[in-house]
Amino acid sequence: MKAEAFVEDVDRTMDDLLKRYDTIHLLGASMGGSLCTYIAGQYASSGKIGKVLLMVPAYALRNKDFYKIDYENCGNEGFPLVQSADTPPELVKDSYLYDFMYKKSIGQLIRLCDICEKYIDKVTAPVWLLYTNADPVVDPAVTAEASKRFKNLIYCHAYEKSGHNLMLDCERDDVNQQVEAYLKY
């Protein structure tokens, strides 16, 4: 699926939701966090965006080799992903993690990162941001810089051991407490 198609889908969904609800709260992880950033920025003027929780939003990928690939002319072979050394073995064994991504998918994800990152400065809703410095997928330095651009950042925390999937990794108990705090805010 092309990056622009994801954006078109969330636009259609938001148009429907805006007709039906007075307030829309957003929660997204990884690519979903990027898309939530886009939504919160694109629809800020509607006055209907409530609060926003972003977990490891993809604004840039950690592996800079991904940016050297000619995605227009590559095949669709897999590109292996590095996993966090601190991920509990039972979670690795149960395969909730991605072992690889298809190259063409990586190219579209990079395009989506570029699209969504441009909306950070437009977000006016209260934002919670959770990410991890051990993320093998998303570039934590870019996320840290992005956190400074949110106008209404309520809470920001960088975990040190968890891999990309914060809700299922080794610091998940604290992550779940922060999600609960977001829901109660």
Per-residue pLDDT of the chain (185 residues; tens, 9 = 90+): 799 999 999 999 999 999 999 999 999 999 999 999 999 999 999 999 999 999 999 999 998 988 998 988 887 787 776 655 666 666 555 545 566 778 888 899 999 999 999 999 999 999 999 999 998 889 999 999 999 999 999 999 999 998 888 888 889 999 999 999 999 98
On the 0-12 / 13-18 / 19+ scale of CB atoms within 10 A, 74 is middle
Give the predicted TM-score (pTM) of the model: 0.89
Exposure letters 98-116 (e unless 16+ CB within 10 A, then b): eeebebbebbbbbbbbebb
Domain 3-184 fold: Rossmann fold (3.40.50)
